Structure 1
Amino acid sequence: MSNGGPVSDLVAFQQTGLVPVASYARTSEDFRQRDGHGVRHQLRINERTAQQRGCRVVATYTDNGRSATRPGVTRPGFDRLIADLARGCTAVGQEIRGVVCVADDRLYRRPEDLARFYAALTAQEGRVYLDPRGARDPYSKDGLLQAVRALEAAVTETQVRSQRIVNWHWARAVEGVPHSGPRPFGWQEDRITLHPYEAALVQQAISDRIGGKAARAIARDWCDLGVTGTRGGRPNAQTVTQIMTAPRVCGYRANRGLLLLVPETREPVSGQWKPIVTPEQWRAVCATFSPGSLYLHRGSGTPRLTEGKPKPRSLGSGLLRCGTERPDGTECRGAMCTQKGRSKRSPYVYTCRACGRCSISGPLADEALERLLLSDAPVHASPSNSVRRRWTAGEMGLDEKRGIIRSVLDCCVVRPGVKGDPSWDHTRVQPVWRCAAQAEAAAG
């Protein structure tokens, strides 16, 4: 190997053999053809780029229809690439000495992803990064600055595009143009003409609700009739509530959670579609729900009307991580969120929001957390006698309990259960204790 850096290493490899590189491709959306043609095209370009630079693609990683801008979106292909780069080889042992991609913004559009990628790429000496413009030295100052400039350009482009989309939707809204997106329940595909059967259902539902009928009962009636939503889902109380309280049912146009008003008259903007009920009926049905249930609070693209995040209602909220093993041997470690359960024994459950393959009974997990703290904690994390007494006597609130647990635990990893086994296994919840110094700092 040459000592002149990755680019000279590339030349040396070209003299003795082809440099093994990983190929990565990503598209933000694939809702039209749904055939993955975008990532296939990128992979072909990557193959050509690798051949032109004396490299060969030994592994491919793709994320089809995955945004790299929105937080919380998982990219399994990118995560596998990072793990393999850090290890230096694929899961089957094939060496990787670089990455090829059509553009930087396919890999990262957020600072944290840039940091992850460069840390993994430069974990070993002699790595290269290729794109159609040529080879880049990821270890040099110029290579890093080029990556940062690409990130800044991607962030700026995202902001400009986002504002352009917002302005486009607003301009359409003030003209009364129907909403884009899936066909709204109650209208034909043109979003203007009423659907005779669905519109009659919505009209009757609004009348029944004003008369005192529960949204759950209305949803059950629709299910009995075999009614499905415009995307094939079965109606439930929440979807029925959204349909009944959407301003469109009385012909009003809203945008981003607000009714649009005509500047001269301050009257609501009327849409170009045919309404199902009168504005008076719409206001009457909205008055039967709490503000937090209304379409203007919960509808698509609507900012929440409440201030701040809702307080956790369970002991393990935000503390549990998924321990499901991925195909590459790594753990998922996705955050587990609280969902409604289906039994009296487990009225709520914790489910991994990343992979969805791991769930655990909420009461079981919370009971396991209490056991860990009160019975199995190491010396530096063991609570004082006064804390134990107040905890067991029920003198502590949920916030104080969570604060104590967070001061001694980084998180808890939940191992997947055994399908068909109804027994409660507390050992599924495995703690990751803070060290003594961390615990003291957190407690202080």
Structure 2
Amino acid sequence: MADTPQTTGADLIPVASYARTSQDTPQRDARGVRNQHRINERTVRAHGCVVVATYTDNARNATKDDRDRPGFDHLLTDLHRGHAFTAGPLRGVVAVADDRLYRRPEDFIRFMAALTSEPGRVYVDRDGLRDPYSKGGLLRGAESLQGAIAEGQTRSRRVQDWHWSRAMDGLPHSGPRPFGWLEDRTTLHPVESVLVRTAIEDRIAGKPVGVIAGEWSALGITGTRGGSPSPQTVTQIITAPRVCGFRASRGVLLADPEAGEPIVGMWQVIVTPDRWRAACATFSAGNLYMHRGPLSPRLTGRTTGPKYLASGFLRCGGELEAGVSCRRSLGGSRSSRSSRSPYNYICNGAAGRGCGRCAISGPLVEEAIERLLFPADGQGKVSLPESIRLRWQSGEMGFDEKRKVIASVFSCLEIRPGKKGRAAWDHSRVVPVWKWADRVPAEPAV
């Protein structure tokens, strides 16, 4: 097979356009991915192809293995299926550069397997058409992968060194301002700093952190990103070493290499180190600021993650007022009331974070999701490959892979409130919000 496939006559090869950025613009206008799709359109016109479907991952990192890319996953699903919903057959993919598609060996293997799952496919970039089946095409892809890995490692080391140097100089953390300080991250916030100081003293005196979170909510206090205070966020705020002036990096308190004393930051402090340590002593180690987050040292060998299959995908459909739904995320919770429903998904009404009026059986939700993905008559909104259905229903597919399938198909699933006295499971309470809704036929009006 030739290294560069050729088109004949006026035939146009239908391809999918993929675009990805690691970060969005400050205006959050997705300009980067829009420009990539625009370049892809120009590229395919020059090489006898036409874009029939677009797939986008805006502000999605491709270097870290714990980052989801729903657009990429959906592209692979459609390549395996051979077509993109109603857009028709797919015979290739176009991207502005290989590293937009993959930066890890696992993703390179997944992409090549999906692209070459049928004969006659092409890969298009600004250099032209590439034959993914030939030795030359594979070598070019592997070279791009090697370059992307080296670039990612160099960039990661550079960023880590930059953060470490800032920390050793006692400079404040980058990112959103911490609760308790003004935008300069140095001067105390006149209201928030008093709340933090009072919360630390109250906690040392024995007050439950949930009560403190409730008091903050009653005062109308919100976090620096606009969220309502919860016991967990309050715990993180009052156990963060910054409250007493200590500087930490990647879950470790930094110390002067010569004197051995903790690095003291260049910002105003809220409490003394003794009061901070006293507050930390009231919590178990796993709740402390120093042992939370992806960069913090783990207390056990376990990795954090969702416990229940639909966690993070469900939204409350309870009505707050006329025409306004709650839309808060439903969390999973154990239940000992029923052997049929050992866990439920619940809208948390604590601390004003949700209406608290909507709950649904966990197994019911997951059964409804399976019916939506794999309808008995085969006439569903989406058509997943038969291999996926068999692996899912046979139990061969693992928990994480199932969540990726759900994420590739649904934006979320809205849970409608149940009716009192109704004993039978009502699958219609689970209302899907499909991804790529412009390619999924709308529900008929009732």
Q: Same fold (TM over 0.5)?
A: yes
Any conservation in 1 of the 2:52–2:87 contact (CA below 8 Å)?
no
CA deviation after TM superposition for structure 1 residue 259, in Å: 0.8
Specify the alignment match of 1:223 in structure 2.
217
CA distance in 1, matches of 2:160, 2:414: 44
Specify the alignment match of 2:327 in structure 1.
none
Specify the alignment match of 1:361 in structure 2.
361
The 1:425/1:43 distance shift into structure 2, 3 A limit, reads: same
Deviations 1:83-114 (Å, cap 9, x if unpaired)? 32223322115232221110111111222322
Q: With the length of structure 1 as denominator, give the TM-score of the two structures.
A: 0.72
Task: Give the secondary structure class of the aligned counterpart of 1:99.
Answer: strand
Specify the alignment match of 1:196 in structure 2.
190
Q: With the length of structure 2 as denominator, give the TM-score of the two structures.
A: 0.72
Any conservation in 1 of the 2:310–2:365 contact (CA below 8 Å)?
no
Deviations 1:113-141 (Å, cap 9, x if unpaired)? 22222122222222211111222111101
Within the alignment, does 1:420 sit opposite 2:409 as a pair?
A: no
CA deviation after TM superposition for structure 1 residue 246, in Å: 0.5
Question: For 1:410, which of 373, 396, 401 is the aligned residue?
Answer: 396
The 1:418/1:343 distance shift into structure 2, 3 A limit, reads: farther
Within the alignment, does 1:265 sit opposite 2:259 as a pair?
A: yes
Q: Point out the more displaced range, 236-245 or 55-64.
A: 55-64
Deviations 1:300-348 (Å, cap 9, x if unpaired)? 6323232344899xxxx68x589x9xxxxxxxxxxxx983369977784
Query: What does residue range 325-344 of structure 1 map to in structure 2 within 5 Å?
Result: 339-340=332-333
CA distance in 2, matches of 1:305, 1:361: 32
Task: Give the secondary structure class of the aligned counterpart of 2:139.
Answer: helix
Q: Point out the more displaced range, 111-120 or 158-167.
A: 111-120
Amino acid at match of 1:165: V
Any conservation in 1 of the 2:182–2:188 contact (CA below 8 Å)?
yes
CA deviation after TM superposition for structure 1 residue 151, in Å: 1.4
Specify the alignment match of 1:178 in structure 2.
172
Within the alignment, does 1:277 sit opposite 2:263 as a pair?
A: no
Amino acid at match of 2:172: P
Deviations 1:252-306 (Å, cap 9, x if unpaired)? 1011111111122211110000000111111111111111111111156323232
Within the alignment, does 1:164 sit opposite 2:158 as a pair?
A: yes
Specify the alignment match of 1:124 in structure 2.
118
Amino acid at match of 1:254: A
Query: What does residue range 427-442 of structure 1 map to in structure 2 within 5 Å?
Result: none
Any conservation in 2 of the 1:82–1:117 contact (CA below 8 Å)?
yes
CA distance in 2, matches of 1:11, 1:274: 67
Deviations 1:379-425 (Å, cap 9, x if unpaired)? xxxxxxxxxxxxxxxxxxxxxxxxxxxxx943698998973346566
The 1:138/1:66 distance shift into structure 2, 3 A limit, reads: same
CA deviation after TM superposition for structure 1 residue 74, in Å: 2.8
Within the alignment, does 1:349 sit opposite 2:344 as a pair?
A: yes
CA distance in 1, matches of 2:36, 2:123: 16
CA distance in 2, matches of 1:71, 1:361: 31
CA distance in 2, matches of 1:99, 1:86: 13
CA distance in 2, matches of 1:86, 1:363: 29
Task: Give the secondary structure class of the aligned counterpart of 1:11.
Answer: coil
Within the alignment, does 1:11 sit opposite 2:7 as a pair?
A: yes
CA distance in 1, matches of 2:363, 2:275: 43
Question: For 2:131, which of 126, 137, 161 is the aligned residue?
Answer: 137
Amino acid at match of 1:361: S
Within the alignment, does 1:238 sit opposite 2:224 as a pair?
A: no
CA distance in 2, matches of 1:227, 1:114: 46
Percent sequence identity over matched residues?
55
The 1:71/1:268 distance shift into structure 2, 3 A limit, reads: same
CA deviation after TM superposition for structure 1 residue 232, in Å: 0.6
Q: From the CA coordinates, give the structure whose radius of gyration is larger.
A: 1
CA distance in 2, matches of 1:156, 1:360: 47
Task: Give the secondary structure class of the aligned counterpart of 2:67.
Answer: coil
The 1:418/1:148 distance shift into structure 2, 3 A limit, reads: same
Any conservation in 1 of the 2:364–2:425 contact (CA below 8 Å)?
yes
CA deviation after TM superposition for structure 1 residue 174, in Å: 0.5
Question: For 1:77, which of 71, 77, 82 is the aligned residue?
Answer: 71
Within the alignment, does 1:90 sit opposite 2:76 as a pair?
A: no
The number of equivalent residue pairs is 359
Task: Give the secondary structure class of the aligned counterpart of 1:152.
Answer: helix
CA deviation after TM superposition for structure 1 residue 158, in Å: 1.6
Deviations 1:128-184 (Å, cap 9, x if unpaired)? 111112221111011112112211221222222112111111000000000011110
